[in-house]
A and B are shown apart, each in its own frame.
Chain A
Amino acid sequence: MSKLLEINHCRKQFGENEVLTDLTLSVEEGQVLSIIGPSGSGKSTLLRCATLLETMDGGDLIYLGNYAARDMDGKAVYAPPAELQKIRGMFGLVFQNFNLFPHYSVLKNVMEAPMLVQKRKEKEVREEALSLLDQMGLSDKADAYPYQLSGGQQQRVSIARALAMNPKILFFDEPTSALDPELTGEILRVIRKLAEKRMTMVIVTHEMAFARDVSDWVVFMNGGVIVEQGDPREVIDHPTHERTIQFLRRLQET
C-alpha cells in the first residue's frame, strides 16, 4: 500500500494558543481512518490544514508524493497556487453543516464543479451526477433546492458533490453532528458503503460505535497531539492511555 497522505511534524497556532503540536500522521490508499477526541483537541484544525482551508505554521503536507507544503527550518512553505490547485483536485471535504449552494438545484450543486473546474463535458458529468444521486437514494431530488431537503438529505447531496470530483481521498468533518439522531443513521450507512468500495477516508467523528465498526485505524487526539492510535477495537475497547480512558468513559456515561 502506498501513502496517499502524509502530514509530518504539523504545527499550528492561533495567536498564543498552540492548537497542533508536532503532529505526524499518514493515510494509506484504501484506508479508513477515524479521528476521535474531545472538542478543542485540534481534530477539526487538523482536517482544515489537510484540506488547505488553514495554513500550517510548520510541517510537511504531502499528497501522493506531491508537496503542498514543505518544512523549511521549522516553517511550512507552501507550493505555488497552481500546484495547490492541482492538489485540491485530489481530495474532497464533507462539512459538518453541509455548505450546499442554496441557489443551485441539487443536480447543479453536484455538476458545477466538475464542469467548471475540471472542464469535463456536461453530458458525461450529468450521467455521473445522476448515478451518484441514485447511489445516495436521492434520484427523485435532482431538481429540488437544498432548503426543500432534510438535513440528512442535504448531507448526502454534499457527499455526492464531493464524490463528483473523483477525489482520491475524502475528508469528513463531524458529518453527523448537525443532524437529528434519527438522521445520522442514513449518513453512516452511506459512509459504510463507501468504505466497502475501498474509498480512502478520514473521518472526524463522535460516533464511537461507528468509528470502531467502519475504520481500519483510529487516532485519539487531545491537546493538539495524538495520544493514542491503532486498531479501532484496541483503542476504543481497550484504551491504554489515561486521557483516552477518561474520554471514552465520559462518552459512555452520557
Chain B
Amino acid sequence: MPTMTVLNSIWNMVRIMSEGMGRTCAIFFLTLLFSLPLGLLVSLLRMSKNIVISTIAKVYISILRGTPLMLQLLAVTYGPYYLFGMNVAREKLIPVVIAFSLNYAAYFAEIYRGGIESISLGQYEAAQVLGYSRFQCFMRIILPQVVKRIIPSVTNEVVTLVKDTSLAYTVSYSEMFTIGKQLANSKVSFTPFVIAGVFYFVFNAIVGWVMGRFEKRLSYYR
C-alpha cells in the first residue's frame, strides 16, 4: 500500500511540525500584544511638538524600518552576549518577541500617524469647546475613528507578520518553520515546505476573516 505509506509519512511530518505551531502562534500573538500599543506610543512621540522627542522617534522608526528584521533578530538575540557577555539566548522566545515587537511597532507607528493626521481638526475643536480634556478627546473621539480608518493597513501588516514568524529560524528558535527546515534537510524532502505553506495560508485566511469581521462591525458609520 504505497499510498498509505506516503500519507503516513506526510502525517508524521505534520505531527512533528505541529509541535512548533504553538511557538509560531506565541510569536504572532505576543508581537501584536506589545507592538500595537508600543506603535501608538511611538506615533504620539513622533508627532510631539518637542523637536528632540519627535527626532528620537523618527530615528527609531527609520532604523527599524530601514534594516532587515533578520538582522534585528540576530542583534537582539546575540547582541547582549557580544556586548556584555550576557547570555539571553537560552529562552529564545523573549529576544524573538522583543525584536519582532520593536520592528512592528515602527510600522504600526506610521500607520497610526497617517490615521491620526487624517482626522479633521474640527473634531478636536468640537470636543475642546464642549470641555473634553485632551485625553478624553483622544480616547473617545479621535482613536475610535482612527481605528476604523487604519484597519486595511493594519491587516496588511498582520498578514505579513504571520509569514515573518518564519524568520525566527535565523536564531534557531524552534517554531514551526525552523522544525520544517530541519525536517526537509534530514528527510531530503520538499514536503515540509509545502506543509508550512499550507499552514501560513490557512493562518492568514483566519486572520483575513477576523479582520473582515472587525471591519464590518465598525461599518455602522461613515
A residues whose Cβ falls under 8 Å from a Cβ of B: 51-53, 85, 88-89, 91-93, 95, 97, 99-103, 112-113, 116-118, 145-147, 158, 161-162, 165
Contact = CB atoms under 8 A, between A and B. Distances in A.
Contacts of A51: 129
A44 to B, nearest CB: 12
B221 A145 contact: yes
Contacts of A91: 129
A51 B145 CA distance: 25
Given A99-B122, A112-B140, A116-B136, A92 B129 contact: yes
B131 A89 contact: yes
B220 interface: yes
Query: In terms of DSSP, what is the predominant structure of the interface of chain B?
Result: helix
Contacts of A103: 144-145, 148, 221
Interface of B: 120, 122-123, 125-132, 136, 140-141, 144-145, 148, 220-222
A88 B148 contact: no
Contact of A97 (B122, B136, B145): B122
Contacts of A145: 220-222
A88 B221 contact: no
19 contacts: A88-B131, A91-B129, A95-B125, A99-B125, A100-B126, A101-B126, A101-B127, A102-B145, A102-B221, A102-B222, A103-B148, A113-B132, A117-B131, A145-B220, A147-B221, A147-B222, A158-B126, A161-B130, A162-B130
A220 B87 CA distance: 76
Contacts of B131: 85, 88-89, 113, 117-118, 165
